[in-house]
Amino acid sequence: MHFPLALSLLPLATHAINIISSNDDGWAEINIRTLYDSLTAAGHSVVLSAPAENESGTGSDDATPTTLTEACEFDSCPSGSPAEGYNASQPRWNYVNSYPVTSIKYGINTLSPEYFDGAPALAVTGPNVGTNLGLDVFFSGTVGAATYAAEVGIPAIAFSGDTGSQTAWDVTTPTYSTVYAELATKVTDELVAAGTPYLPDEIWLNVNFGAVGDSTCTSADDFKFVLSRIFTAIPLLTPADVETCGSTRLPTETKVVDSDGCYASISVGLASDKLDANATMQAVVLDKLSGLLTCLE
């Protein structure tokens, strides 16, 4: 049988999946909107369900949403708006006037059945404005939302980036926001391409992107991904990590992100306590993301 050459040269199309998206910087912060555009352009079906206001640093807090008694952040909705709402011309962009966990819970329980006819295949949070390294994971709402999703059985990734400040959705997209969205899409697509289950039960990924400068690390292609630990290992006490890059001890994510060069760290966490997962779980992720991961130089 004869196949046209052009067809046989086409790369395998990335599998498009249903994704719920949240953050702690708020539904109208530009990073979550840039990521929405990037994941949608990659073919995924994305629904955004994030706090109405800046809820940075609220960890795993959860409370019944309430009617807005002030405007949503950046005047993105008027005071007096209902506890949950959406952009009338883009109903996939939803706010919840409560914490990050509450907002992703609403996305999973209420919006996903409507848009996806069931649970989302993946939860992504961020890109957070500012890194979430080490102890930060206990306070970050971006991490709180991701670990909530992982605990209810949805593979989850928390993304955070070093550069930028909280910025309204409706300005010219800053370069860092585009770079972080492209990097997050790259990780998502790589994980999805490795097939289901996307992650083992109860496992989430903490992904941190290093700084985007004016003349350094200005494009997603400049960045290298390194498998890392969330917390510093305690000598003689912490069990060995997965063996890679000639060692059974992974670098901490702080070390990776602070290294000279353009680096992004990927740590494998346990949702229940936000601590590092064991070497077996790290090995699953190393295998799935082997096409993306490199060693720290």
Spatial neighbors of 203 by CB under 8 A, at least 6 apart, are 150, 155, 268, 269, 270, 271, 277, 281, 284, 285
The interface region with ligand NAG, picked from 14-22, 87-95, 181-189, 228-236 by CB under 6 A, is 87-95
Query: Whose Cβ is closer to ligand NAG: residue 93's or residue 209's?
Result: 93
Query: Whose Cβ is closer to ligand NAG: residue 59's or residue 264's?
Result: 59
CB 187 within 8 A of CB 289: yes
Structure tokens at 96: 């919840």
Q: Which of residues 125-184 bind ligand NAG (CB under 6 A)?
A: 166, 169-170
Structure tokens at 287: 């295998």
223 binds ligand NAG (CB under 6 A): no
Query: Whose Cβ is closer to ligand NAG: residue 22's or residue 217's?
Result: 22
Strands (E), the chain: 18-22, 45-51, 84-87, 90-96, 122-129, 156-161, 203-209, 224-228, 263-270
Q: How far is CA 94 from CA 124, 250, 253, 289, in A?
A: 15, 38, 31, 31
* 38 backbone dihedrals φ, ψ, rounded to 5°: -70, -45
Residue 42 Cβ vs ligand NAG, minimum distance, rounded to whole Å: 19
The interface region with ligand NAG, picked from 14-22, 42-50, 53-61, 105-113 by CB under 6 A, is 53-61
Residue 74 Cβ vs ligand NAG, minimum distance, rounded to whole Å: 8
* Amino acid (1-letter code) at residue 43: G
31 binds ligand NAG (CB under 6 A): no
CB 271 within 8 A of CB 281: no
Query: Whose Cβ is closer to ligand NAG: residue 207's or residue 270's?
Result: 270
Query: Whose Cβ is closer to ligand NAG: residue 54's or residue 267's?
Result: 54
Instruction: Please tell me the count of residues contacting ligand NAG according to CB under 6 A.
Output: 16
204 binds ligand NAG (CB under 6 A): no
Which residues sit at the interface with ligand NAG, rule CB under 6 A?
28, 54, 56-57, 76, 87, 89-90, 93, 166, 169-170, 270, 278, 280-281
